[in-house]
Amino acid sequence: MRSVFFYLEEKSEGIIDKLGKIAERGNDRRWYFPNCKEAVIWLDVNNTFVLKDHSSEEIKEIQTRVGENFILVSVDVSGRIIGKPEVNQIASILLGESKGIAMNEVVQRFWSLDDITLNKTFDGSPFFPPIGK
C-alpha cells in the first residue's frame, strides 16, 4: 500500500462532491475507487492522525502555502495496481479547482498540480513513483 496526502484550503468548495465524482462512498467515512466491492484506492477526509508524522516545519509550510486551516485528504493505493493514472486523476480533481498541495510517502516534499501534471521529478523520483523505486 502506498499513500498520498492532499492538503486543501479549508474553504475549498465541494470536496465531498469532488470525491463523489471519482469514488463510491462507503458506509463508513471513506470513499472507494472504483467502487466499494472492487476497491483498489481508499480515500479519507481529515485523517488528522497523518499529521503526527509531520514535522513542525512541514506543517508551517502547509499553512503558508494552503492556509492556516486546511482539509486533509489521504489516499491509500493498493499494491495490486500501478496507480499513477488514477492518482494523477485524483490530483487533477482535488487540486484543479482548490488551493492545495500534495505529498506522497516516498518523496518527502510538497508537490503542486503543475509539478504533477508536468511529470517533474525531484531527486530522480516522480510524484507517484512505481513500486520498488
Positive or negative, the CA dihedral 53, 59, 62, 68 is positive
User: How does 84-118 read in b/e, with b if 16+ C-beta sit within 10 Å?
Assistant: eebbbebbebbbeebebbbbbebbeebbbbebbee
Grid coordinates representing 46 are 481529515
Total structural domains within the chain: 1
Q: Decide if 128 is inside a domain.
A: no
Q: Decide if 125 is inside a domain.
A: no
Q: Could you tell me the CATH number of the domain that includes residue 7?
A: 3.30.1400
Q: What is the mean pLDDT of residues 9-13?
A: 72
- Residue range(s) defining the domain that contains residue 31: 2-117
pLDDT digits (tens, 9 = 90+) for 94-111: 898 788 999 988 778 899
Task: Tell me the pTM.
Answer: 0.87
pLDDT digits (tens, 9 = 90+) for 53-73: 788 999 999 999 998 888 888
DSSP reduced 3-state for 103: strand
Rounded Cα–Cα distance for residues 11 and 63 (Å): 13
Torsional class of 124: left (φ above 0), alpha (ψ -120 to 50), beta (otherwise): left
